[in-house]
Amino acid sequence: MTDAWHYTPSDRPRARALTVPFPGQPAALNSITDVPGVEVGYETLIEGDDVRTGVTAILPRGKQGVGVSCASGFHSFNGNGELTGSHWLAETGLLGWPVMITNTYAVGPVHRGVIDWVVREQPNQTPWDFPVVGETYDGYLNDINRSTITAQHAVNAIDNARTGPIEEGSVGGGTGMNSYGFKAGSATASRKVRYAGTDYTVGAFIQANFGSRRQLSIAGRSLGKVFADDNPMAETNWFLPPGAGSAIVVVATDAPLLPQQCAALARRATIGLGRTGTTGNHSSGDIFLAFSTGNPGALSNPPAAQREALSRLEFVPWHGIDPFLEATAYAVEEAAINAIVVNETMIGRDGHRSPAIPRERLVGLFSE
Active-site residues, by number, are 246, 284, 286
Query: For residues 77 and 99, is the Cβ–Cβ distance under 8 A?
Result: no
CA distance 298 to 339: 35
Beta carbons of 252 and 202 less than 8 angstroms apart: yes
User: 99, 60 in Cβ contact below 8 A?
Assistant: yes
- List, in order, residues 6 or more apart from 306 with CB less than 8 Å away: none
DSSP string, 304-363: GGGTT---------GGG-HHHHHHHHHHHHHHHHHHHHT---EE-GGG-EEPPP-HHHHH
Q: Contact, 104 vs 145, CB < 8 A?
A: no
